[in-house]
Amino acid sequence: MTERKKKFGEEIVTVIGDELNVGDTAPNFKAINNDLSEYDFYKEEEGKIKIISVVPSLDTSVCEIQTTKFNQAAADISPDVVIVTISNDLPFAQERFCSAKGIDQVKTVSDYNYLDFADKYGTLIKELKLQNRAVFVIDKDNKLVHIEYLEQNTSLPDYKAAIEAAKNLI
């Protein structure tokens, strides 16, 4: 398994797994919904354009900004587009965060139990067992059309590029 070095603030961390490439088929993965039911990416998002927003933890300022920005953008995108935020936060914490912050356009799922997403998308921070910040845009046929793996986890992704990539698929 490939190991890559990234920044988490001032620290250097190890991210495990291979990075995906534009044109690859987005791997199916299982995670946990906020109601503790199992989430199956292909099954639940079949036929939709998908934006996956990956955050280390919703309870941090940069992750909150990222999730809020995508939540706001979701109101201006077609109903054919779904935005999924994934982290290793417990589902209870994700639900509490969304309720407290008015996040109602973005679906949150947790990879804490299986780490299936982290394994297949190459986003697990080895030392912290958190997700490395990233954004993926996936077409209706599950082809990756836009990918951004961030080198610095305290930086924000390019929302406009991800939103435009999704809009171009409509």
Q: Of 135, 92, 127, which Cα lies nearest the Cα of 113?
A: 92
Please state the three-class secondary structure of 53-84 as a single string. EECCCCCCHHHHHHHHHHHHHHCCCCCCEEEE
Give the count of alpha carbons within 13 A of 42, CB side only: 8
The residues that are catalytic are 63
Tell me which DSSP letter residue 48 carries. S
To 10 degrees, what angle do helices 159-167 and 61-74 make?
30
